[in-house]
Structure 1
Amino acid sequence: MALGLCFVGGVNAQSNVSGAIVGSANPGDTITIANPATGFTRSITVGADGNYRFPALPTGQYTITDGSGTPRNVAVQVGTASTVNFGGDATTLGTVTVVGTNVVNPIDVSSVESTTILTAEQINRIPVARDTTSVALLAPGTVRGDAAFGNLASFGGASVAENQYYVNGFNVTNTFRNLRFGSIPFEGLAEQQVKTGGYGAEFGRSLGGVVNQITKRGSNEFHAGGNVYFEPESLTEDVKNTYYSNPLTPDSFGTLRSDNSHDGGWKATANAWASGALIKDKLFFYGLLSYSKMQNDAFGSTLATGNTSTETKSPTWLLKMDWNINDNNILEFTAFSDKRTDYIDSYLNEPGSFERTDYLGQRVLESGGDNYILKYTGYLTDTFTLSALAGHSEFARSVYLLSPDGTKIFYNGDISAPAQPGCPVVVDARPGYRQAITGPYFSTCNISGTTLDRIDSGDTRDQYRLDAEWQLGDHLLRFGYDVDNYESVAGEGLEGGYQWRYSTRNPDGIPNNGDEQDIVRQQFFSQGATVEVKQHAYYIEDSWHITDNFIAYLGGRWDTFENINGNGDTYVHIKDQFGPRLGFSWDVFGDSTFKVFGNAGRYALPLTPSVAVRGASASLFSREDFNFTQVDPETGSPIDPVSRGNFRYLNAETGEPHIASTVASKNLKPMYQDEYILGFQKQLNDNFSLGVRGIYRDLKAAIDDNCDYTAVLEANGFTYDPATWWTDANGEYPNLPNPGFPYCRMFNPGEDAIFETDLYGDGNLTTVTVPGARLSPKAKRTYSALEFFFDGRWDKLFMQGSYTYAKSKGNTEGGVKSDIGQDDTNVTQDFDYIELTVDTYGYLPNDRRHSLKLFGSYDITDQWTVGANLLVQSGRPLNCFGVLDRDPTAGYNPHPYGSSFMRCGTTGAGAIDDATVQRFPRGTKGRLPWTSQLDLNVVYQPNWAEGLQFKVDVFNVLNSQKVTSVIETAEDAASGSPSPTYLLPASFQQPRSVRFMVQYDF
């Protein structure tokens, strides 16, 4: 049985949806290829240089002949070139391609790209979760991202928000925050290509990696079948309980925080498919229907809230149509849906009890949508190929609530009337010792406990691209142009219209000595807009055969990004950002058994449209503090609160959008990164190959927001006096906030920023340059790694694996912030104020120093197969976040960021001034433990029933449940006292579980 995984060393001159067959023969010979499954054939004449090339071929099994001998079999995989030579000198580039069931994948000497390709057949033989990210994590240089962002991967030290995802050449990345992507029903996957670095000028808008999926397609032979996957709750182990872990809180240390022993759930998926020819050799179809259902219960028995039951339904489908118009023209159509609905029922329970009491209501989350892709390929001459693609996608992100009486509660996006039906959100942020006196404050009628995305939230993408390939003697030219326009309807408002947040003022920092005062803050927050990002790019690349054994690659890409706010005004416009790409591939012995390769490139990332919803569009955000004496036991709201007189708007008073030109620095550059790779790959024999590559990535510029309005005032000549506040030379006061004076603005950290500002609220804008050193240090992130990878294949055994030694260091993770689970892509708190940047340089959250990956399968007999998948990985670095300054005599509270600084107290009561605070630079509070996971499976394909198959996968066989993330906030935001939740586990390894499958094909 042939398998299709390969590690391709190091930019490839192939399409992102097809492959190629290349080689040499006698000049003037006619070379013919054919795909027996579809009847597709092509013939070309070998050029005077003795080389031939069949570009842009649909993936699959082909035969090839020069007319003088027996046809040879050759496999074409996405993004790679398969080499077959006829006659002539057998020492030229790409000499031999040997095809067989026990032969290792040949080295692609035409490529300088770092790519891993996995076929559906291989994925089915090893124990791996059936989703895009889990398969991508088999590749070297990938690690699982923080659990706060869902099931996402980090590629080469980049954040999880810096990847791009494609299906049949169409970009399915959810660009709103870059934290989601469109997903085909997994049963419809034919191949998945994972690009971890060095990708060519054809690809852009990514600093991390590229995942490129190819769907299954029909053939002349009719096939149909179905399967069922089931993961029972009874064979899934319990998640570990969590206990308070901060040794500086002796009253709570070691006590139970969350009893998870009754949590659990199950999942079932059913698939049915059919494929065949509507017209033999001409028109083919592949259709798939899939339905998944999950049930999960979380009891939260040690708290009075957090008791939920979640039901998830995912009716999805896929349709692939292929029309071989003639031998020179192909038309493809892909359509798929990944709609999903989560129904989350919330209950109350008595603290310490698993018994559910009052039903609070239901939260309904709708996501996913429909995608349509049309692609044309024309082989216009033997040396010139043209392809064109057009695609449209829609993705829902809506949320609504249902109260126990059936009332529908939702946010409609109208910021002028933010209050919604339902009870307000209540947050009790008081220290544990204060909650012990009165009991925690909470609502018994609030359903969600957070904000609601507006009911019509969703995204629409329209993408068009044109790609051409032209062989000119020793030069293979590829060039193209793509347009990617993305529109988001977005916004959110608090359930009940506002939030009450309880906290404690503790003047001397010593708990429970009688000087504490509980206060409550009322916060209004609502936003909503329809925003856009318009992108286009063009590229050109040349793969030049300088000699028969040496290819030089030269490419360039020019990206344009335009971000548009809810008023239709452009607030960021970056034109023709240049990304050069260079590389080489040396076939050392001329027989495709030893390749040395290298590449260097620059990659740029656009600003996500989510930034515009709050930062550049209409929003309302205000805060006011109150004293109180009583709390309503049902709503959790204070009774008869008395204002403390410090009401303030954090946005324009009427919620109108900011003036577009004031939101971002006038000299804003995109987020971009330089990358360098050098490596080699050696085939030791027909059954085994190995390779090594070194990788270095250097972030040259980042985009984030800065909220220090005092820097703008200083640059405009204002001075500060405690008696008069800020005044200019004439004694005039600034008017802020107003639509032309936003608190927060987009900039490149460490670079001088040119800001426009309406200082007095009179509509007159002034332009001033704020020195970069006044705003923040330069954004830094480097990733250096050494990867060892191998591919082994014998008669009954195949095994692949890799070991990666890597370091990820800097003062910013990138688009998101795993330290605190902040998913506000491009607007993290990292650079809001310069004080937040002190001691932030160090090892980053995605720093996993050691990663060992091994997986494969063994055919015991022709009916029984076993598979294994092993991952061993070192833990991530830890931090200690505390309050910046707690000097009780100064009353100094410069920024409302609470425990966000790289310092924390050293005594049980918490330090009360900066002199007794210990600094802990990033990553110096130790590391989480190493993790290891072994997955096993067994497959039975009985001879007595052809097409029948049974499989059992056991994940995490040893039930290792090491901690994979913890709460890193060490102090209470208001008092500075040690937080009992510091080091509390936020996520564990998934416990042992079992998945059953039965399948029948005919």
Structure 2
Amino acid sequence: MSQHHRQIFRRSALGLALGLCFTGGVQAQTNTAGAVTGRAVAGDTITIENPATGFSRTITVGGDGSYRLSQVPIGQYTVTRKGTDGSTSTRNASVSVGTSANVSFVSASGDAQTLDTVTVIGTGAINPIDVSSVESTTILTAEQIAKIPVQRDATSVALLAPGTVRGDAAFGNLASFGGSSVAENQYYVNGFNITNTFQNLNFAQIPFEAVAEQQVKTGGYGAEFGRSLGGVINMITKRGTNEFHAGGNIFWEPEDLREDGKSVYMTDGTLFEDNSKDSQWQAVASVWASGALIKDKLFAYGLVSFGRRENETFNNNQILTNNSARTETPNWLLKMDWNVTDDHLLELTAFSDKQETDSDIFLNDEGVLNRKDFLGTAFTEQGGDNYVLKYTGYLTDNFTLSALAGHSVFSRAQRLRTAGGLDVSYGGDINVPASGCPNIVDLRPGYRQAIDGTRASTCNLTGANITRRDAEDTRDQYRIDAEWQLGDHLLRFGVDVDDFESVDGGSFEGGRIFSYRTDNGPDDEPNTGDEVDFVREQIVNQGAVVKVEQKAYYIQDSWNVTDNFIAYLGARWDSFENLNGQGQSYVEIKDQFGPRLGFSWDVNGDSTFKVFGNAGRYALPLTATVAVRGASASLFTRQEFFYTGFDPVTGAPTGMTDISDGSAPGERGPTSSFRYVNGEFGTAKNPQTIAAKNLDPMYQDEYILGFQKALNDNFAIGIRAIFRDLKAAIDDNCDYTAILTTEGFEQQDDGRWLGPDGRFAALPNSGFPYCRIFNPGADAVFLTDLYGDGNLKETTVPGALLSPKAKRTYSALEIFFDGKWDKLFLQGSYTYAKSKGNTEGGVKSDIGQADTNVTQDFDYKELAVDSYGYLPNDRRHSLKLFGNYEITDEWSVGANLIVQSGRPKNCLGVLSPWPSPTGTHPYGSSFFRCNGVPTPRGTEGRLPWTRTFDLNVAYRPNFAEGLQFKVDIFNVFNSREVTSVNEQVEDASSGARLDLAFLPLSFQAPRTVRFMVQYDF
């Protein structure tokens, strides 16, 4: 072989190996399969075959010397070229989800290869170079994930990708992508959407042992994907082959090797929460089998998994209960594949992710870690069954069609049972509150409690809301996707229909919450004997069956302008409609346009150096949760009482008399304190009044520019710059005075509003909701029943009267690399990022508010004052390194290091003076001001850097093939830095600084050890 041909071969081999291993290609931008592309001599025939399944396709090379086989199931393939002269050449290719495996049989100059016996094998190593891609994508296979010390869930794997950070602990185990909130991502399994659209804060959890590949899209994804401003997690499950396989494993995290929980102290050093006795252990066992029911035709993969986790949780603050919880996950998955013919495939995916948690609640003495009387058990359910059927047809050499239909059910039910056997639950009827003992909260200053004792319940089980006993979500999804190769143009187009229904509702346990309070005047001086204790009763009952109907059309063209340059043009039209509990539409947005543009330049023509860029617009629908209280019938009341005592068991006040204006304690005046907070009792809201008539969806523009370079056969590096700009947000506004002042109303001394025609406004009522959905900063067109007479008046409220414009930008520079050697693979990234604005997005990490799309950010325009700054998901620096080294054929070691700078802190306090009975704004400690001084967002410093180092060791004895032992140690150095704090630092009524100011709310997870034993044959 001449030196010239050696160089050509090395470049071609490297380009092939890199193209087979990593990142999704625009030319194969499908969420279930990949593609095989390349060049050969015109008229040659190309055959790909997967020996494990018998899947085979043959195509003739076009006149321009290029070929493409689309919608290829992931796996290992033999690619055979048969020339017109009878010569043959063979290559091996590894196809991953969303990638184009480039297998060429001609040199870079276009001459036919003479080395017909040369085979290049894709090793499966992670490598960022794919010259057909404009996406920012990471793919990890099951084999790679098994070698890395990482928790076995989709979020933990996604956090290995550049540009991702862990979200606030208040929302569970979720990731933030590119500065977006954790409620702005989408999740898929085998092409089926498993996102829980109720709040966008959950998704179906398939048994992780069944995952073959996980694809993480952090930006630049094409028009096929939508309904996301953050990222996309796409999982492909394992499938059966002609060879029978079976096995089992068990993962065990023992309690004795888990470090103690970290205790919480107040700012004055007083112990607030003693977590030293908390404990946890968990184990998951799985068995599986796969094989051919009919060789080369019908295959099955089945898995059954059972997990159990036990938690013992104590505390020593004013909560008088502790609990012992058991969580069981009896899960399963079945994947069926039928090669009906070489041109027609059917797939069935079915799985269950049911999770059941039973929490036994016990009494304890205040401030003591003991366990006394058994109170009862709380039963919660999560997850359900999912069924997906998909058809793929290779109708011609150039046209492929796929169709998918899926159905899923996700339970969120909750019920309680007292120690005496009494069932406590909520059925969702707003006129029938939940049963059980009421919630009790004692908000009186400490010196009052020292005199009178703490008001508390000894029979309430949860101290919170309980979800209705039949709460669940149902999804029905249908989509058709087509791919058509027309010369230099690869067209993809399709339609996606996604209907989501939620049965939801909630009520305080016992039907109400009693909060004991003290009217201590304008100061917080010690007891002088003239303070007045009172109690507020609050009732919130809500329940409805609500829907979100979504539809999208898309078309995209990947155009090979030259052999080295690809232009990508795409367009997507999204339609969203939200229905309330009465089946009435209250938000409808049609054909929201989302353009996508991109390019990829193979600079050297050998897949070793790529320059790429893209720009796109992405829209997000309104979640289903908004309709349950905001747009459906609900009850929300408040009433204040004087009282003479309290029940020592239930904690409920006794001897109650209604507080009235100007009355002395114990006397009932002419005006009752009873009031409806959001609409009339049991009355459904008028759907026309819930949202602005000119509402736009939440949407964002994104721009990415970067390059990737292979430095040698084993190492590649890339750099990309990213900018995201939120153009419109959806939230709610609760300051109805903006509507009244616009309409010429004037407020009277008694608080009522007098209209220009001499009539008083009737508010709130079914047509005059307390809060309305709008685009912050934009002029809003509202319909309102001003006088309660059923007549709706259209009012255009200037945006300046409601709130400033919603702003959120994300700018980042990502540097990432991949290396693969004989015994070592290593991947890493460094991200420098800034996330800045006046809204986080769908949720609000500042206060842990999970009311997706209706946070308090823009309820009153005063809440947005000084709110612009660095946002909660701003992690300025992120360093990630992970990999594995095979010491011998039997022993290997893996490591995972994540180092990140801390999030910014805020100081939230009251707004005073304010024209209200208390002298402060009714939203309490929610404003960016402390001690009466503005404290703009993010100016209270930052939380500490976090450093997590994980390590594992695996042993695969040669004497027992298929047997493996592994030990993972997470957080080896037991770093326990604070990851979130209480940013509401002032008392909501008096404005006095709280002892709980900046109280730690979450820490890094403690050091844990996980053992695994597995046998596979």
Residue aligning to 2:491: 477
Verify the 8 A CA contact 1:5 1:119 in the aligned structure 2: no
Over 3 Å counting, the alpha-carbon distance change for 1:770 and 1:129 in structure 2 is: same
Deviations 1:292-328 (A, max 9, x none): 0000011113444241111001100000000011111
Q: Distance in 1 between matches of 2:108 and 2:717?
A: 26
Give, as a single letter, the amino acid of the residue that structure 1 aligns with 2:330.
Answer: P
Residue aligning to 1:902: 928
- Shift of residue 893, structure 1, vs aligned partner: 4.2
Q: Distance in 2 between matches of 1:93 and 1:421?
A: 80
- Shift of residue 504, structure 1, vs aligned partner: 2.6
Q: Distance in 2 between matches of 1:391 and 1:656?
A: 36
Residue aligning to 1:761: 788
Q: Quick one: which of 840, 843, 856 aligns to 2:883? A: 856
- Shift of residue 723, structure 1, vs aligned partner: 4.6
2:389 partner SS: strand
Q: Quick one: which of 225, 238, 251 aligns to 1:203? A: 225
Residue aligning to 1:909: none
Verify the 8 A CA contact 2:18 2:130 in the aligned structure 1: no
Q: Distance in 2 between matches of 1:383 and 1:431?
A: 75
In the TM superposition, what are the counterparts of 1:368-379 in structure 2 within 5 Å? 368-379=383-394
Q: Distance in 2 between matches of 1:470 and 1:492?
A: 49
Q: Distance in 2 between matches of 1:128 and 1:603?
A: 31
**Quick check: 1:220 aligned with 2:220?**
no
Q: Which one is further off, 300-309 or 367-376?
A: 300-309
Over 3 Å counting, the alpha-carbon distance change for 1:91 and 1:506 in structure 2 is: farther
Residue aligning to 1:440: 454
**Quick check: 1:119 aligned with 2:133?**
no
Verify the 8 A CA contact 1:846 1:876 in the aligned structure 2: yes
Q: Quick one: which of 936, 952, 970 aligns to 2:967? A: 952
Residue aligning to 1:509: 523
Give, as a single letter, the amino acid of the residue that structure 1 aligns with 2:956.
Answer: Q
Verify the 8 A CA contact 1:159 1:814 in the aligned structure 2: yes
Q: Which one is further off, 629-638 or 579-588?
A: 629-638
Verify the 8 A CA contact 1:4 1:119 in the aligned structure 2: no
Residue aligning to 2:756: 729
Over 3 Å counting, the alpha-carbon distance change for 1:510 and 1:724 in structure 2 is: closer
Q: Which one is further off, 518-527 or 798-807?
A: 518-527
Q: Distance in 2 between matches of 1:216 and 1:156?
A: 29
Q: Distance in 2 between matches of 1:65 and 1:899?
A: 69
Verify the 8 A CA contact 2:250 2:285 in the aligned structure 1: yes
- Shift of residue 886, structure 1, vs aligned partner: 4.7
Verify the 8 A CA contact 1:571 1:663 in the aligned structure 2: yes
2:360 partner SS: strand
Q: Distance in 2 between matches of 1:759 and 1:74?
A: 69
Q: Distance in 1 between matches of 2:173 and 2:425?
A: 27
Residue aligning to 2:98: 79
Give, as a single letter, the amino acid of the residue that structure 1 aligns with 2:989.
Answer: A
Verify the 8 A CA contact 2:752 2:761 in the aligned structure 1: no
Verify the 8 A CA contact 2:20 2:124 in the aligned structure 1: no
Over 3 Å counting, the alpha-carbon distance change for 1:118 and 1:432 in structure 2 is: farther
Verify the 8 A CA contact 1:703 1:826 in the aligned structure 2: yes
Deviations 1:418-462 (A, max 9, x none): 2x3211011122333443333322100001111111111001100
- Shift of residue 90, structure 1, vs aligned partner: 4.3
Q: Distance in 2 between matches of 1:173 and 1:878?
A: 30
- Shift of residue 642, structure 1, vs aligned partner: 2.1
Give, as a single letter, the amino acid of the residue that structure 2 aligns with 1:472.
Answer: L
Verify the 8 A CA contact 1:93 1:590 in the aligned structure 2: no
- Shift of residue 10, structure 1, vs aligned partner: 8.9
Residue aligning to 2:903: 876
Q: Quick one: which of 724, 727, 730 aligns to 1:703? A: 730
Verify the 8 A CA contact 1:470 1:476 in the aligned structure 2: yes
Q: Distance in 1 between matches of 2:101 and 2:988?
A: 60
Q: Quick one: which of 404, 408, 421 aligns to 1:389? A: 404
Q: Distance in 2 between matches of 1:511 and 1:288?
A: 65
Q: Quick one: which of 956, 978, 988 aligns to 1:973? A: 988
Q: Distance in 1 between matches of 2:414 and 2:963?
A: 42
Give, as a single letter, the amino acid of the residue that structure 2 aligns with 1:796.
Answer: K
Residue aligning to 1:813: 840
Q: Quick one: which of 131, 134, 145 aligns to 2:153? A: 131
Verify the 8 A CA contact 2:19 2:101 in the aligned structure 1: no
Q: Quick one: which of 750, 766, 787 aligns to 1:739? A: 766
Q: What TM-score does the superposition give when structure 1 sets the normalisation length?
A: 0.96
Give, as a single letter, the amino acid of the residue that structure 2 aligns with 1:71.
Answer: T
- Shift of residue 36, structure 1, vs aligned partner: 0.7
% of aligned pairs identical? 67
Residue aligning to 2:363: 348
Verify the 8 A CA contact 1:7 1:791 in the aligned structure 2: no
Deviations 1:796-840 (A, max 9, x none): 111001000000000000000001010000000000011111110
**Quick check: 1:519 aligned with 2:534?**
yes
- Shift of residue 11, structure 1, vs aligned partner: 4.6
- Shift of residue 510, structure 1, vs aligned partner: 2.8
Q: Which one is further off, 90-99 or 660-669?
A: 90-99
Q: Which one is further off, 538-547 or 495-504?
A: 495-504
- Shift of residue 126, structure 1, vs aligned partner: 0.7
Over 3 Å counting, the alpha-carbon distance change for 1:376 and 1:445 in structure 2 is: same
Q: Distance in 2 between matches of 1:923 and 1:762?
A: 47
Residue aligning to 1:558: 573
Residue aligning to 1:588: 603
- Shift of residue 97, structure 1, vs aligned partner: 9.8
- Shift of residue 759, structure 1, vs aligned partner: 1.0
Q: Distance in 1 between matches of 2:334 and 2:19?
A: 23
Q: What TM-score does the superposition give when structure 2 sets the normalisation length?
A: 0.95
Residue aligning to 1:636: 651
- Shift of residue 891, structure 1, vs aligned partner: 4.7
2:224 partner SS: coil
**Quick check: 1:314 aligned with 2:329?**
yes
In the TM superposition, what are the counterparts of 1:784-823 in structure 2 within 5 Å? 784-823=811-850
Unmatched 5+ stretches in structure 1: 246-252, 906-916
Verify the 8 A CA contact 1:270 1:292 in the aligned structure 2: yes
Residue aligning to 1:611: 626
Q: Distance in 2 between matches of 1:105 and 1:653?
A: 60
Q: Quick one: which of 196, 214, 219 aligns to 1:174? A: 196
Greater relative CO, 1 or 2 (CA 8 Å, sep 6+):
1
In the TM superposition, what are the counterparts of 1:211-360 in structure 2 within 5 Å? 211-245=233-267, 253-360=268-375
1:612 partner SS: helix
**Quick check: 1:184 aligned with 2:206?**
yes
- Shift of residue 8, structure 1, vs aligned partner: 3.1
Over 3 Å counting, the alpha-carbon distance change for 1:79 and 1:222 in structure 2 is: same
Q: Distance in 1 between matches of 2:966 and 2:857?
A: 47
Over 3 Å counting, the alpha-carbon distance change for 1:11 and 1:837 in structure 2 is: farther
1:655 partner SS: coil
1:714 partner SS: helix
Give, as a single letter, the amino acid of the residue that structure 2 aligns with 1:502.
Answer: Y
Verify the 8 A CA contact 1:7 1:789 in the aligned structure 2: no
Give, as a single letter, the amino acid of the residue that structure 1 aligns with 2:707.
Answer: F
Q: Quick one: which of 809, 818, 833 aligns to 1:782? A: 809
Verify the 8 A CA contact 2:644 2:653 in the aligned structure 1: yes
Q: Quick one: which of 937, 944, 947 aligns to 1:929? A: 944
1:777 partner SS: coil
- Shift of residue 88, structure 1, vs aligned partner: 5.0
Deviations 1:834-864 (A, max 9, x none): 1111110000000000000000000000000
Residue aligning to 1:536: 551
Give, as a single letter, the amino acid of the residue that structure 1 aligns with 2:655.
Answer: D
Q: Quick one: which of 374, 382, 391 aligns to 1:367? A: 382
Verify the 8 A CA contact 1:451 1:493 in the aligned structure 2: yes
Residue aligning to 2:669: none
Give, as a single letter, the amino acid of the residue that structure 1 aligns with 2:566.
Answer: I
Unmatched 5+ stretches in structure 2: 1-16, 661-672
Give, as a single letter, the amino acid of the residue that structure 1 aligns with 2:231.
Answer: G
C-alpha RMSD of matched pairs (Å): 1.9
Give, as a single letter, the amino acid of the residue that structure 2 aligns with 1:935.
Answer: D
Q: Distance in 2 between matches of 1:706 and 1:893?
A: 22
Residue aligning to 2:686: 659
